[in-house]
Amino acid sequence: MILRDPVHGLVSFESEEAEIVPALLETKEIQRLRRIRQLGLTCLAYPGAEHTRFAHAVGAAFVMTRLVNRLRQIHDQLPFWQRVTTERARDAIAAALLHDVGHGALSHLFEEALPDGPPHEEWTRRIVLDPKSEIHAVLAKVDSTLPSRVADLVRGRHQLTFLARAVSGTFDVDRCDYLLRDAYSTGVGYGNFDLDWLLRSFRFGVPENENVAPPLAIDGAKGLPAIESFILARLFMFQQVYFHKASRASEFMLSRILGRARQNVLDGSPVDDLPKAIASIAQTGDAQLGDYLDVDDGVLWGAIATWRSAKDPVLADLCRRLYQRSLFKTYELYGPALAPERRQLALERAREVAKRAGLDPDVYVGLDEASDVPFDDAEEPLTVIFPRGQPRKPGDVSFLLGRLRGERLERVRLVFAPELRDGIIEAVGE
Amino acid sequence: MILRDPVHGLVSFESEEAEIVPALLETKEIQRLRRIRQLGLTCLAYPGAEHTRFAHAVGAAFVMTRLVNRLRQIHDQLPFWQRVTTERARDAIAAALLHDVGHGALSHLFEEALPDGPPHEEWTRRIVLDPKSEIHAVLAKVDSTLPSRVADLVRGRHQLTFLARAVSGTFDVDRCDYLLRDAYSTGVGYGNFDLDWLLRSFRFGVPENENVAPPLAIDGAKGLPAIESFILARLFMFQQVYFHKASRASEFMLSRILGRARQNVLDGSPVDDLPKAIASIAQTGDAQLGDYLDVDDGVLWGAIATWRSAKDPVLADLCRRLYQRSLFKTYELYGPALAPERRQLALERAREVAKRAGLDPDVYVGLDEASDVPFDDAEEPLTVIFPRGQPRKPGDVSFLLGRLRGERLERVRLVFAPELRDGIIEAVGE
Amino acid sequence: MILRDPVHGLVSFESEEAEIVPALLETKEIQRLRRIRQLGLTCLAYPGAEHTRFAHAVGAAFVMTRLVNRLRQIHDQLPFWQRVTTERARDAIAAALLHDVGHGALSHLFEEALPDGPPHEEWTRRIVLDPKSEIHAVLAKVDSTLPSRVADLVRGRHQLTFLARAVSGTFDVDRCDYLLRDAYSTGVGYGNFDLDWLLRSFRFGVPENENVAPPLAIDGAKGLPAIESFILARLFMFQQVYFHKASRASEFMLSRILGRARQNVLDGSPVDDLPKAIASIAQTGDAQLGDYLDVDDGVLWGAIATWRSAKDPVLADLCRRLYQRSLFKTYELYGPALAPERRQLALERAREVAKRAGLDPDVYVGLDEASDVPFDDAEEPLTVIFPRGQPRKPGDVSFLLGRLRGERLERVRLVFAPELRDGIIEAVGE
Amino acid sequence: MILRDPVHGLVSFESEEAEIVPALLETKEIQRLRRIRQLGLTCLAYPGAEHTRFAHAVGAAFVMTRLVNRLRQIHDQLPFWQRVTTERARDAIAAALLHDVGHGALSHLFEEALPDGPPHEEWTRRIVLDPKSEIHAVLAKVDSTLPSRVADLVRGRHQLTFLARAVSGTFDVDRCDYLLRDAYSTGVGYGNFDLDWLLRSFRFGVPENENVAPPLAIDGAKGLPAIESFILARLFMFQQVYFHKASRASEFMLSRILGRARQNVLDGSPVDDLPKAIASIAQTGDAQLGDYLDVDDGVLWGAIATWRSAKDPVLADLCRRLYQRSLFKTYELYGPALAPERRQLALERAREVAKRAGLDPDVYVGLDEASDVPFDDAEEPLTVIFPRGQPRKPGDVSFLLGRLRGERLERVRLVFAPELRDGIIEAVGE
């Protein structure tokens, strides 16, 4: 099977260990990912951000095939029982493809808006392990223990730590693909990094003891810029895309919409066209797998379209706004205004403005706190190896990473309906 | 208003004449384009082809702003009444943005599958001219005659022919954007051409008489490769993408699905979740504008999901296949087998195979005839201008275009359910 | 050894069979290529075209490593004695690196301007076979017969035809690299083609008989666009770059300069700073290898700088013009004016103009006839293979190649000193 | 005049104010830049780094035309006497083209190796102001005071500070072009930044008082990533390219070669083929302009080729090594070993090793200390402007720049002949 991918070019799954990919791609659970956008509502801020989880899943599996090739170039130094066999390679490729198969509609937004329900990791686990899923069938046909091995790998568990971290770690194949893909689709060039060079820079480090496999490491002479640019690409994507004010504002609106729909259910007046899974999660905190998988972006947008004429006027209003991209506005807090008590004070004042305007402050005003630590090697097992001397931490040898280590990037904003703008700026502005 | 676009980079609409763009983008009719994929079902063949008509419409408007800039660099030679005024520029930019606003779900597939209904050009006209549309309101607010001027421009009618052809012609802004965007999203690099150089190569040609504006022309010394590569990019996109067998097969399936749904309506047993516009077109050949606009890709996929359990077993079967991407297969005819009578013979034989297998040949077998003439300058007003001598036809001065002129690219294939493959190959194969 | 290359990205020569590359790169004959520009005087037309034969030689060797990898993916169908062994791979990689090591200063211009001397192929042969060259030493250290095997391969001779044609054929590694590299450096994007896809499209075809290795072939289902775009890239590079009027005019000037220097030698009044190899070729038609290798671009430009004050006033004038890029002008002939007798007539008239202006017509006027057949499969062994049926010729199955087959691209121009322009246009113009 | 440039695409100089560019390009002083590589000896480390100062000068002039366009988009807020007139634009474009016209062979290496002579800034000044230069003639023909205005601008002096800093400042057009061009040619993708976005982000800041023009500023809402990525691109280029060990080692060798040639002159035994300018600088600390301009890369490499058989055995040895790229090796000092006294100790020990090996320690061993402060806004007038509030320093509002501000990047290495490697590692290693 060969594919043309805009990010990786010619993508092929033809080796024995990659043959599981075409089989998995035919399952309905993977095909469903075609109907879920990778970046949820971000296309409201970046018109090009329309790529789906399907393309990303394929990309992550492909990066894993390349990483496996690299591991084999360097695994001569390992005892044979720590090497990447065909079976282990197949497990890792399957795990890379399936790592996020449990994501709900609009990717992470679904679970964030319905926090009572299971997280997507749990849905992934169920899909892989449920004997009724087509994915389980494909995996179990190969080997009855494969489903559980894949489920473990997806959670970052494997005898060979370097393989586990390739599925779930700082430099995992998931991030390798989504950074490149999100950058490509949004047009935010800063999100690029040199994947060829990164893969080529991997070495094996020093194992903790002779009974365990060594962690991955970076070739100090050649590889530092590869991980520096990876970390920076991720930082830029957070600053420019993932924390973009229009994305965050629309996500806030969606969470209020789903919260409101949930409340209607709990109040005994469910809205029309409510997907069964949402009703069930609202009432019981869980849902049937089949019902969960029935909800994709189209279904959710369909519900929002219907709810524009819901009886609940607040729900109807929110849906009309989001459907037509009349987004909430934001006001960012800087410097001293970031102190916890000042944030709360700002929120309180904004809520007062909403109340005076006759708008429900729980719905029309909020405090959005986005944050990330772009780089920290305190817990990171990846080391840098030089021809001479001990393995060293990336932050100790990189000019850039040493200065970013442990630093927190934060964006804190008031979010509110546009008509409250002047009032809120007056109430909280300097 | 400035945007980041993966194809054009920094896209801005800030001049006086471009200010209408942000206003139009807020209308519900344009926002709807966010829910319609530019390439319909092509993402089933190229996973990256997930871009929407919204991004394309913005791109086409942007290319028009660039073309207008170029026209002004060279319009000194025109009498003042033939120049691109601010008003004309605004009209052209609005027309570029709106040129395809009437497309149905999955772009051109909707109208091809429901040929009784109005074509998308008619829907575009209605959207622009209907006093109840938000687009009409934005246009009419500027000037009560603007809606009809834009509707004319979209149809390629304008006093200044060069402006009309910029909206609708061989090298129009629609094609300029979609070739680049489709190439970018699919990863088919062959679809690229040099837009900067093309714009820079435009000159004014010789008018038919002194009362009309001159047509656009190409600078012979510099511009030939620009139009050559444009024509070739388009040819490659047809060969690789628009005529791709998996795209064509899935389009065939969709047409059978909608045809079957239509038949159910006519037979008095309408299917569940049938969009009102489809029912109406089936019964009357037309639909209300509001109902038409309610149908987007998500709605259509939602209907297909529902119809997987339709009472009509054939409809249910087709929907199950398409929903899960179990696509029909194709068998391409080459050389002598392309003769009309041999095509029909092949189709007849394939139908026999279906009948023997107990499958309805009208649904499970078809002959797909795709064709295009990549370049023909017989009717093309664009000429090539040299420092000395008369304007000349592109095919007369270009080595490449001279050899492609008037030649027809054709792909003819039998399309059929996969289980019929062996039988059909045996029946029609050499 | 790993390198960063702007065209291919990460370039590595680390396998056993590629280890000969670092050793060869250290020889003085290869290092000399750093001082010879790939495109000779083309940088006078395209400022970016400053890349050297060194970078190209490395690139060609790298493409060969990739091609060898591809051949091994598909060679299971061959009898073992036709497969690419480590030794054969090393031979082919060395031949790719060395294929043009004999080029003189300013690449092909040197031999064209001094046609009495040996062609660059002969110099390549001498460098490889001469026991005193460092390249010979590196090769012979591996195996005493390696120099002659490499010399044969460079000439396209090898028991395995597919390997011979990989060094010297329609789709050889030389062209693969130089098309991409020339396009990259000049900025002429049309020169790109999809190398990944081309390599991936190679299959083995049907051998003439059971005793010989099969020729390479192209996978018909996937590979046609790869060779189409390769042929088109080459065509565009000819049209835009290799036949560019400023390149051709400056090459004409250089040939007159060297011809004049040669004449001075023959007349017994050699010019200062004349490289020994040029004097020797002028007098004897040949030169010592060491003297030949001493001439690089810097040496030749140094001579031209010196000759600006040569006693021969014509030589001095030509050198002053070229040194400062005061280039000759051109007048292109089109259509009926291309008939042989009309070309000669135009040249005669132009010569008359020069004579009347007191300029030597042999020096200041010329007829430059550049031509190429972009594609012809009459002699081409490469075929296209489909799942069913016989191998077919590319021109029989490709819409594009069928229309280009055997067609000749031609650019014919008068070249002359700028001061003759008006007179010549008047004399020969329509 | 339009050109194809690999970095900027279509480059045109056609406006009234840019017409001076074609005239200046025909001068011999600018044409000489075709024979000087932008990155000196870096092509010994990065084979693609073969681009010349000519292409860079054209690129810098083009970036200036784009910057001028941006300044005009935003200059409505300025009093008319502070706006960019046609005359000022022409001055700035000329200054951008000429900003480094005085560079010697191999760019900055020439002056670093011959520190007694005038720096390149002084040579630039002379070329612009010398009535005998062709550049002076072109400038003075426009306006007799233009040469001195251009000379001032090149030094960063102009009534309008924002224009002066566009020629010479943190974000000047010189850097804008060379970062992109060096990244393009070396293939080091990290060196890219978004020039479109940077230009678009410029605003005018707050002037110190009403009599002076305001400094440039950055739009805080949109522009931060543009300057962040610019600073990072520069940092990466320093780390990866400008401070590359092979570049630095070869530069060390060149400085010893020219130092040795100089010493031979002072000792009364000048070497053959010594360029007159070098002899003159050695003896008098200065040279004639004409002699200086006669030295380009080809001339210097020619001298090095000749000196391979110099009587001075040390000079001959160094030249043989460099000519054939047998480069010196390096040993980098890290962490505590960077303390000044430890650096000197390491150097001393390395010198001892050389002495014991019979090599002159002044020639065959050295301490190379490369350093740069990637970002500091202590002296930087560029501020960041937000819709509300005072202009702020970039380091105060950027997560990244705040962490890099004032930090020094340093690379300290011992440089030595390869045969000393083991001895030196033993003597100074941990």
Q: How confident is the model at residue D138 (pLDDT cuts 50, 70, 90)?
A: very high
CATH of domain A2-243+395-407: 1.10.3210.10
Chain D: residue nearest B4 by CA? D197
- The answer to whether the CB of B87 falls within 8 A of the CB of B275 is no
pLDDT tens for D215-225 read 899 998 788 99
Position D299 pLDDT exceeds 90: yes
What does the buried/exposed string (b/e) look like for A278-289 if buried means 16 or more CB atoms within 10 Å of the residue's CB?
bbbbbeeeebeb
Query: Own/partner pairs for B22-25, CB < 8 Å, 24+ apart?
Result: B23/B138, B24/B94, B24/B97, B24/B98, B24/B135, B24/B138, B24/B139, B25/B1, B25/B58, B25/B97
| pTM, rounded to two decimals | 0.94
Q: How confident is the model at residue D99 (pLDDT cuts 50, 70, 90)?
A: very high
Give the C-alpha separation, B192 to B176, whole Å: 10
Q: How confident is the model at residue D430 (pLDDT cuts 50, 70, 90)?
A: low
Mean pLDDT, to the nearest integer, of D103-120?
88
Cβ contact, residue pair C389, B192, below 8 Å: no
**What pLDDT is attached to residue A378?**
86
Chain B within 8 Å of D378 (Cβ-Cβ)? no
pLDDT tens for D177-206 read 999 999 999 998 777 889 999 999 999 988
Q: Give the closest of C3, C26, C301 to D47, CB-based.
A: C3
Measured at the CA of B158, the angle between CA B157 and CA B163, to 5 degrees, comes to 105
pLDDT tens for C67-118 read 999 999 999 889 999 999 999 999 999 999 999 999 999 888 888 888 889 9
Q: Give percent above pLDDT 70 in chain A.
A: 100
Q: How confident is the model at residue C209 (pLDDT cuts 50, 70, 90)?
A: confident
Q: Which fold has domain B2-241?
A: Hypothetical protein af1432 (1.10.3210)
| ipTM score | 0.91
C109 CA: distance to closest CA in chain B (Å): 26
**What pLDDT is attached to residue C387?**
81
Name the token pair of D199. Answer: 């230009």
pLDDT tens for C393-405 read 999 999 999 999 9
Q: How confident is the model at residue B297 (pLDDT cuts 50, 70, 90)?
A: very high
Name the token pair of A375. Answer: 């780089």
Taken as a whole, chain B contains a residue count of 430
Cβ contact, residue pair A43, B34, below 8 Å: yes
The total of other beta-carbon atoms located within 10 Å of residue A256's CB is 22
Return the higher-pLDDT residue of A222 and C372: C372
Alpha-carbon distances, residue C23 vs C27, C30, C54, C124, C142 (angstroms): 7, 10, 14, 18, 11
Mean pLDDT, to the nearest integer, of D35-61?
95
Surface of A (173-202) touching C: CB under 8 A: 194, 196-197, 200
Q: Give the closest of B5, B185, B324 to A6, CB-based.
A: B185
C292 CA: distance to closest CA in chain B (Å): 39
pLDDT tens for D302-358 read 999 999 999 999 999 999 999 999 999 999 998 889 999 999 999 999 999 999 999
**What pLDDT is attached to residue A172?**
92
Alpha-carbon distances, residue B217 vs B60, B172, D10 (angstroms): 21, 13, 19
**What pLDDT is attached to residue D206?**
85
Sheet of C329-333, strands arranged across: C329-333, C409-416, C365-372
**What pLDDT is attached to residue A389?**
76
Number of CB pairs, chain B paired with chain C, less than 8 A apart? 47
* Distance from chain centroid for Cα C300: 19
Q: Give the closest of A10, A12, A196 to C9, CB-based.
A: A196
Give the C-alpha separation, A81 to A75, whole Å: 11
- Superfamily of C2-243 according to CATH: Hypothetical protein af1432 (1.10.3210.10)
Phi-psi region of B223 (alpha: psi -120 to 50; beta: other; left: phi over 0): alpha
Name the token pair of A302. Answer: 């369909």
Give the C-alpha separation, D84 to D90, whole Å: 10
A186 CA: distance to closest CA in chain B (Å): 6
Gyration radius (Cα) of chain B, Å: 23
Give the C-alpha separation, D4 to B188, whole Å: 24
**What pLDDT is attached to residue B430?**
60
Task: Find where tokens 């079967």 sit.
Answer: B317
Of residues B345, B362, B256, the one with CA closest to residue B307: B256
Cβ contact, residue pair B55, A48, below 8 Å: yes
**What pLDDT is attached to residue B335?**
84
pLDDT tens for A70-94 read 999 999 889 999 999 999 999 999 9
**What pLDDT is attached to residue C219?**
92
- The answer to whether the CB of B319 falls within 8 A of the CB of B272 is no
- Among A287-291, C382-386, D368-372, the least confident range: C382-386
Averaged pLDDT score across all residues of chain A: 93
**What pLDDT is attached to residue C378?**
86
Q: How confident is the model at residue B113 (pLDDT cuts 50, 70, 90)?
A: confident
Mean pLDDT, to the nearest integer, of D97-107?
93
Chain D within 8 Å of C272 (Cβ-Cβ)? no
- DSSP-assigned beta bridge partners for residue A371: A410
Q: Give percent above pLDDT 90 in chain C.
A: 82
Q: Which amino acid is at A143?
A: D
**What pLDDT is attached to residue C430?**
60
Chain C within 8 Å of A378 (Cβ-Cβ)? no
Chain A within 8 Å of C10 (Cβ-Cβ)? yes
Of residues B187, D334, D190, C6, the one with CA closest to residue A198: D190
Surface of B (308-347) touching A: CB under 8 A: 323-326
Give the H or E element holding residue A55: helix A53-74
- DSSP-assigned beta bridge partners for residue D367: D414
pLDDT tens for C29-47 read 999 999 999 999 999 999 9
Mean pLDDT, to the nearest integer, of B371-377?
93
With H, G, I as helix, E, B as strand and everything else as coil, classify residue A81. helix
Number of CB pairs, chain C paired with chain D, less than 8 A apart? 101
pLDDT tens for B161-212 read 899 999 988 889 999 999 999 999 999 877 788 999 999 999 998 888 888 8
Task: Find where tokens 């113009």 sit.
Answer: C429
- Among A227-231, A281-285, B281-285, C205-209, the least confident range: C205-209
Position B397 pLDDT exceeds 80: yes
Helix axes D120-129, D146-154, angle to 10 degrees: 170
Which of chain D's residues have a Cβ under 8 Å away from the Cβ of B222?
2
Q: Give the closest of A240, A388, A429 to D388, CB-based.
A: A429
Taken as a whole, chain A contains a residue count of 430
Position C224 pLDDT exceeds 80: yes
Q: Give percent above pLDDT 90 in chain A.
A: 82
> For chain A, which chains pass the contact test of at least 3 CB pairs under 8 Å?
B, C, D
Cβ contact, residue pair B187, A9, below 8 Å: yes
Averaged pLDDT score across all residues of chain D: 93
pLDDT tens for D267-297 read 999 899 999 999 999 999 999 999 999 999 9
Q: Where are the domains of chain B?
A: 2-241
Q: Give the closest of A9, A196, A197 to C196, CB-based.
A: A9
**What pLDDT is attached to residue B108?**
81
Chain C: residue nearest A197 by CA? C10
Averaged pLDDT score across all residues of chain C: 93
Q: Which fold has domain D2-243+382-405?
A: Hypothetical protein af1432 (1.10.3210)
**What pLDDT is attached to residue C258?**
95
Mean pLDDT, to the nearest integer, of C250-279?
93
**What pLDDT is attached to residue B211?**
83
Position B149 pLDDT exceeds 90: yes
Q: Which fold has domain A245-372+411-428?
A: Growth Hormone; Chain: A; (1.20.1250)
**What pLDDT is attached to residue A430?**
60
